[in-house]
Chain A
Amino acid sequence: TGASGQRKADKFETEGVNLRARKP
């Protein structure tokens, strides 16, 4: 959100992710 957040998102190709893993 906001100009700053969007600027960073555009500049560094930023995205939000949900990640998961399992410890063996």
Chain B
Amino acid sequence: MPLDTTRLRDEIRKVYSEVVGDPKKGYHFHTGPEYATERLGYSRAELAELPDAVTAPFAGVGNPLAMGRPEVGQTVVDIGAGSGTDTFLAARAVGPSGRVIAVDMTDAMLERGRENVLLTGMTQIEYRKGLAESLPVADACADLVISNGVVNLSPDKDAVFRETFRVLKPGGRLQIADIVVHKDIPPAGREDIAIWTA
């Protein structure tokens, strides 16, 4: 039976909605600012300056902004932004004259992200509902595209990279943190939603 992508996305939404409500529950991935600093090289001081509502649900797998920060006034697209740890760090870098478009498909994350924008007053951030495979973003508008632990959850990774290429300006950069496998996953495994989400 082919992968049911609708069900897959529903299951992913369910997991990440739980992360918003109970970030310390214990998942098959780490969460929170301690993990981000201890394992992934985030700056403890920078994370401490962000509200807990931003950093507690952090569930990234790497550190996309460690590969370079955007400049003041630039436009960043964060794919699968979640509660916004990378989003808000990028927003601090681009400043009020810049822009961060935070895309997520999970309503609970969008709600939390928008609350965090109000909480911090960082109105250069705009949360938009959408999929990584069909970004709600105009062509060639981004200086930098970031994502953290998102592409591995996409059933159509080629589409994610096509969309990333579309929204980047010429000379724009892609910086993603993600999970890769070195052993091929057999077809039965690819169709098993538990392999994707648990």
Contacts and interface: CB of A to CB of B under 8 A. Distances in A.
Size category of the binding interface on chain B: 20 to 34
B66 interface: yes
A6 to B, nearest CB: 9
B175 A19 contact: yes
Interface residues of A, number: 19
A18 B182 contact: no
A22 to B, nearest CB: 5
A1 to B, nearest CB: 5
Interface string A6-21: 0010011111111111
B183 A12 contact: yes
Interface of B: 26-30, 61-64, 66-68, 165, 168-183, 185, 195, 198
26 contacts: A1-B28, A1-B29, A2-B28, A4-B198, A8-B28, A8-B195, A12-B182, A14-B179, A16-B62, A16-B177, A16-B179, A18-B62, A18-B64, A18-B66, A18-B67, A18-B175, A18-B177, A19-B175, A19-B177, A19-B178, A20-B67, A20-B173, A20-B176, A22-B171, A22-B173, A23-B165
